[in-house]
Amino acid sequence: MTQDTRLRTNINKEIEELKPWFHNLHLPDSTQTAPDHWLGDFPMFKWKELSPFIPQDLSGWKVLDVGCNAGFYTFELAKRGADVLGIDVDTHYLKQAEWAAEKMGLQKKTRFKQMQVYDLAKEKENFDLIWFMGVLYHLRYPMLAMDILAEKNSDMMVFQTLSMPGKEAETDTWDRPINEREDLLKDGWPKMAFIEHKFSGDPTNWWLPNHAGIEAMLRSCGYKITGRPGHEIYIARKDAENPSCLHTWNKSEYQSAIQEDWKAEVGNKIKK
């Protein structure tokens, strides 16, 4: 057995031991972690759609990959020079990511932490780019997660979610009298379908927004949509002209949800 064959046999054995894989990672020796993935070469085919929308040189960028899984995107962004923190609730996937970081020689550019997306509210770090793909629909509290992430993000978000069918988006959603509700039934009104039981056999799928709903949520968190690389994928940048509703309306609700002392702030305002 040659040295190369022996190394390849060892890697294949380790891949087998780390199963099941959701990300088909392409390792430097050209081994793949899930070459028979039911979605095809996933998520490489999504990355190919997306990558032209992301700066080639990410040197100096701090990036957060939410729900990083085995780290496919974490590694691609680190290869462009970014320092990437990947978070996930599932230690099985984090173990895969840590193993792969070593195989790719990317340990210095990547960190992995077991975290709930909501735990980020207590973190001090800020990120130039937040990668938020494939997670929103798994959350029972999607707007809370969006608000937390927007507060930690100084520039760009890459967003993807399972969504309801349709491409329509009403342009006038400003206000309606209390008894005029028909417009809410229009295809282009921002909406989310609530999944009480399961979707695609998965009980962790809670909410599927429509296209108008995705754009409206992003705007409501202070973003403008600057790119649509593919189906259900949105590039958003912080919009200086349109701050998040947190800063114009209901900060105390947010503070209460993240267990911050909101009464002190409201109390101070009242005293003034």
Ligand X SMILES: C[S@@+](CC[C@H](N)C(=O)[O-])C[C@H]1O[C@@H](n2cnc3c(N)ncnc32)[C@H](O)[C@@H]1O
Binding site residues, ligand X, CB under 6 A = 43, 67, 69, 87-90, 93, 116-117, 133-135, 138-139
Instruction: Give the shortest CB-71-to-ligand X separation in angstroms.
Output: 9
Alpha carbon distance 21, 38 (integer Å): 11
Nearer of residues 135 and 212 to ligand X, judged by Cβ: 135
Alpha carbon distance 260, 246 (integer Å): 14
Nearer of residues 115 and 164 to ligand X, judged by Cβ: 115
Alpha carbon distance 148, 213 (integer Å): 18
Nearer of residues 21 and 189 to ligand X, judged by Cβ: 21
What is the separation, in whole angstroms, between the first and last Cα of the chain? 80
- Residue 192 tokens read as 């989310």
Between the alpha carbon of residue 53 and those of residues 50, 71, 113, the distances in Å are: 6, 19, 27
Instruction: Give the shortest CB-101-to-ligand X separation in angstroms.
Output: 16
Residue closest to ligand X (Cβ): 67
Nearer of residues 10 and 116 to ligand X, judged by Cβ: 116
Nearer of residues 164 and 169 to ligand X, judged by Cβ: 164
Instruction: Give the shortest CB-175-to-ligand X separation in angstroms.
Output: 33
Between the alpha carbon of residue 113 and those of residues 90, 107, 119, 230, the distances in Å are: 10, 13, 11, 29
For 88, list phi and psi in degrees, rounded to 5.
-160, 150
Nearer of residues 89 and 143 to ligand X, judged by Cβ: 89
Instruction: Give the shortest CB-17-to-ligand X separation in angstroms.
Output: 19
- Residue 7 tokens read as 């190394």
Instruction: Give the shortest CB-135-to-ligand X separation in angstroms.
Output: 5
Instruction: Give the shortest CB-132-to-ligand X separation in angstroms.
Output: 8
Nearer of residues 93 and 254 to ligand X, judged by Cβ: 93
For 135, list phi and psi in degrees, rounded to 5.
-120, -40
Nearer of residues 75 and 189 to ligand X, judged by Cβ: 75
Instruction: Give the shortest CB-196-to-ligand X separation in angstroms.
Output: 18
| Residue 128 identity (one-letter amino acid) | D
Instruction: Give the shortest CB-11-to-ligand X separation in angstroms.
Output: 22
What is the torsional sign of CA 130, 136, 139, 143?
positive
